Structure 1
Amino acid sequence: MTAAALTLATAIPATSLAQEVVTSTQMQAGDVLSDQQLNVVENYGLTQVESQSTGNSLQGGNETVRADVSATQTVSGNVTARATVTGTNTGAETLSLGTPMSVTTQAVGNYMSHVAQDGDAGVTTHQSSTGTAVQAWTDIQSPNNAIYESGEGDAVSEVNHQAYQVSNGRLDSQSWQASGTESRADVSATVHYSPSVNLYKASATNNSYEANSEDRGSQAHEVHQDQSAMTHARAEVYGGNMWNVAAQGSAVANNTDIQNTGGSLDVTNDQHQGGNVQSQAYASADEYGTADVSASGIGNRLAAGNNDVTLHLDNTQISDGGVDVTATFEGNTGYDSYISAEAYGNQALAYACAECKADANITSTQVNNGDVNATSTVNVAQGRSIVSSARAVGNSATYYVSGGH
């Protein structure tokens, strides 16, 4: 997940554990649901709604001692987070739905995080999900209401997520993530009038593995990710008079993101995408100032970077499920519109220190057997500027090292 991730998608602050050896097994068989429904005639203050659901959650850390952790997490039920805000004004006067307004949903099947501070950690983790869906729904309906100051709607769905952080120590991690569960994030908004910034985002991921080091921290990771069900994200907004509106959709089947500040970085990454990836962004406005619509979809994604000398990477990515991305804007009368759609079967980025003599050993194999489609569509009756782009790539690899002087 990206920097915009919510609370669960970030490693917690370091906490001391009484035990140096931890063995944890979690199994969630039933459905998990969080649901909120608001009906608003008028609210001229803050409207803030948060709905969060998690199947299994394990959070830990070690400080000045070594920790060895073995964790197994299994979800076989559905995990759903839902929030609905409905403006019920029926009069001619435009009443406020929120000044500002923020609606956020987050659904996570399995979540695990660990922080190592001034100590080493060895972690072995197995995460699996066999339920039908992990889904986040954000629905904002304001056909006769207005949103002032700012409006935001977010939906984040992740089936399996792991987050690690190490500082002044060493982290050795082995991870297996398997998902036969659909990851689905949907945001839908209807806004009558808003003289302010409006941003509606949907982000769906099946398997996500993230690690970083602060100060000096060597890392060694072995990551295995397998996805066989759909990953779907859709952000849509239907506007009347919108001064500044944006819709963003992002879908990634398998994501590995490992960053190191000091010491060595050793990564073995194995990703297989078997289920389809769909990312959609849509916006329409009768009148608009600026409209920004973007959608991105990736089958397998890897980012591994070391701001020190040593980087060893063995990367294998196989994409079979296909990637479909669409970005659409429809406007009647307005000014500037920006539309982009990007689709990748496999994407890999790796780099080592740009200011010292890097020692990089990289082996990478990428195989794409699925269709990769990116489509941008614009329908404008009267506007000032239109900037539109569409990019589809089967396999993309970027590796960078630099020697010092």
Structure 2
Amino acid sequence: MVRLARIRLAGTIAATAMCAAAATEVAAQDRSQVLNEQLQLGDVFGGQTLNVVDVSGQVTVTTDARGNQLVGASNGRSTDIDSSQDMRGDVSASTTLTLDGDTNGPVTSATEARGNSLTGAIYYGQMTVDATQALSGDVTATTNLTGTDARLVGGGQISAGAFGNTVALVGGGSGDRRAALTGRIDQTVTGDVRASNLASPRFVREPAEFVSQAVANTVQGTTGPNASQELDVRQRSSGALVEARTGVWAGNGWNLAARAHAGGNQANFYNQGGSLVPTTDQANSAQIRSDSELSSYDFGKATSSATAVANDVTIANNDIYVDIDNTQLNTGGVEATASFTGQKGYDAYVGAQAAGNAITGYGAAPIVRNVQSNSGDVSATATTTINGSGRHVIAGANAVGNAATFYVTGTGGN
């Protein structure tokens, strides 16, 4: 296992007494610099096994594995980040829960595996990012809840997440002290990304949700009031498979949910007040597969949902100026499958959604340039089987090659 990292911080503090022109010149130089180079050649693994019987309180488990990680924040000082992250080994995180008897408190289990991760925050200043992330190994997250007599009296939240490359940026300002996120992000994945969440409880009383999520590349920019974003994002997903699978087989479930989400490239931008100018270039050739399977002999409320999207962009701005330049190309297959099987009970909700390319934009009078091309097969399948009796069955399946949705909000003027 080899990890190479080089980080340098530098900055100049302006003098307190100077003329206005000199103050402006020095302020322009008053910036921190982060130079980051990370190379991981070996595999990274995190795993744990839990065996318990008749727990009176809660059960909380966290398993995390990451190849390369950079985290930083700046308050009142502009920062330049130049980062290169290269993950060539495999990353895997695994959690096995053997719960026998009654678990009276909630069960909370989070299993997460990430290849390359960059997180940055700027408050009252500008953060300029030049980030490159490359993943050639596989990323796998697995959760398995077993036990011949597992009774989840207190319900719970169990999740498994596998992510190839992730960038999360946050900015905030107030009054005349503004914040800005600017720069370029380039992400490439050539390995497989898989998440699996399997459970076989005998009895579940309180609400319980089982979630799997697998995404090759993801970028999220979030800014609050008095802040702006201008980011250029390039994402490439060309591995063989991106797969999320959730399987829950229960004897008696009062309120059960099984959810699975798989994505090739994902970019989300949210802004409360200020300009939002994103440029996105996404291309996927991987097979994108999402599968949610839920069964319960007796059931109260049962929900099974699966979503699969090759390229996905969401842009939301509560201020006036939104300028969107989006290009999406998908050549891989996209498949979403959701199913529920029950004997007798009340309400069943089953939904499957699949898309080759999708973009959604919110804002006042947005400027939009959108190019989408899909040549891969896209399928969504929802299956509901109730062998005895039930009350409500609500099911839907939606498959689309290219989807573009834009909402124009009012500004209070005429």
TM-score when normalising by structure 1: 0.91
Provide the rounded CA distance (Å) in 2 between the counterparts of 1:54 and 1:389.
36
SS across alignment from 1:264: coil
1:232 partnered with 2:243: yes
Provide the rounded CA distance (Å) in 2 between the counterparts of 1:401 and 1:243.
41
Shift of 1:286: 1.1
Shift of 1:44: 2.1
| Paired residue type of 2:85 | Q
* Greater Cα shift, 156-165 or 144-153: 144-153
* Greater Cα shift, 60-69 or 100-109: 60-69
Aligned with residue 279 of structure 2, among 254, 261, 268: 268
> Equivalent residue for 1:166?
171
Q: Percent identity?
A: 33
Shift of 1:68: 1.1
| Paired residue type of 1:244 | N
Provide the rounded CA distance (Å) in 2 between the counterparts of 1:120 and 1:74.
26
Shift of 1:401: 2.2
Listed one character per residue, the Cα deviations across residues 378-400 of structure 1 (whole Å, up to 9, x for unaligned) are: 11112122111100011000122
Mapped contact 1:142–1:189 kept (Cα < 8 A) = no
> Equivalent residue for 2:23?
none
1:398 partnered with 2:402: no
Mapped contact 2:183–2:230 kept (Cα < 8 A) = yes
1:294 partnered with 2:301: no
Shift of 1:112: 0.3
Provide the rounded CA distance (Å) in 1 between the counterparts of 2:73 and 2:103.
42
Provide the rounded CA distance (Å) in 1 between the counterparts of 2:148 and 2:47.
22
Shift of 1:175: 0.5
> Equivalent residue for 1:150?
155
Listed one character per residue, the Cα deviations across residues 116-140 of structure 1 (whole Å, up to 9, x for unaligned) are: 1111121100000001x11111100
Provide the rounded CA distance (Å) in 2 between the counterparts of 1:363 and 1:320.
21
Aligned with residue 319 of structure 2, among 308, 318, 323: 308
> Equivalent residue for 1:192?
202
Aligned with residue 124 of structure 2, among 118, 122, 126: 118
Provide the rounded CA distance (Å) in 2 between the counterparts of 1:265 and 1:145.
49
1:331 partnered with 2:345: no
Mapped contact 1:97–1:142 kept (Cα < 8 A) = no
> Equivalent residue for 1:241?
252
Shift of 1:65: 1.9
> Equivalent residue for 1:375?
381
> Equivalent residue for 1:253?
264
Give the structure with higher Rg (CA): 2
Mapped contact 2:42–2:88 kept (Cα < 8 A) = yes
1:217 partnered with 2:227: yes
Listed one character per residue, the Cα deviations across residues 157-206 of structure 1 (whole Å, up to 9, x for unaligned) are: 11100011112222212010000121111100000112221110001111
Mapped contact 1:33–1:81 kept (Cα < 8 A) = yes
Listed one character per residue, the Cα deviations across residues 40-91 of structure 1 (whole Å, up to 9, x for unaligned) are: 232222111110011111011222222111000010011111100113x5xx
| Paired residue type of 1:157 | A
> Equivalent residue for 1:11?
none
Q: What does 1:18-37 align with in structure 2 at a 5 Å threshold?
A: 19=11, 20-37=32-49
Mapped contact 1:84–1:138 kept (Cα < 8 A) = yes
| Paired residue type of 1:102 | T
The 1:197/1:67 distance shift into structure 2, 3 A limit, reads same
Provide the rounded CA distance (Å) in 1 between the counterparts of 2:254 and 2:368.
48
1:364 partnered with 2:370: yes
Provide the rounded CA distance (Å) in 2 between the counterparts of 1:289 and 1:305.
36
1:78 partnered with 2:90: yes
| Paired residue type of 2:350 | I
Listed one character per residue, the Cα deviations across residues 310-352 of structure 1 (whole Å, up to 9, x for unaligned) are: 1111100001111100001111111111100000110001122
Mapped contact 2:66–2:116 kept (Cα < 8 A) = yes
| Paired residue type of 1:363 | R
Shift of 1:151: 2.5
Q: Tell me which stretches of 4 or more aligned residues in structure 1 moved more than 4 Å.
A: none
Q: Any stretches of 5+ residues in structure 2 without a counterpart? A: 1-8, 12-31, 173-177
Mapped contact 1:291–1:338 kept (Cα < 8 A) = yes
1:178 partnered with 2:188: yes
> Equivalent residue for 2:394?
387
Mapped contact 1:282–1:328 kept (Cα < 8 A) = yes
Listed one character per residue, the Cα deviations across residues 269-302 of structure 1 (whole Å, up to 9, x for unaligned) are: 0000110100010111111111110111101000
Pairwise CA RMSD of aligned residues? 1.3
| Paired residue type of 1:376 | A
> Equivalent residue for 1:9?
none
> Equivalent residue for 1:102?
108
SS across alignment from 1:266: coil
> Equivalent residue for 2:27?
none
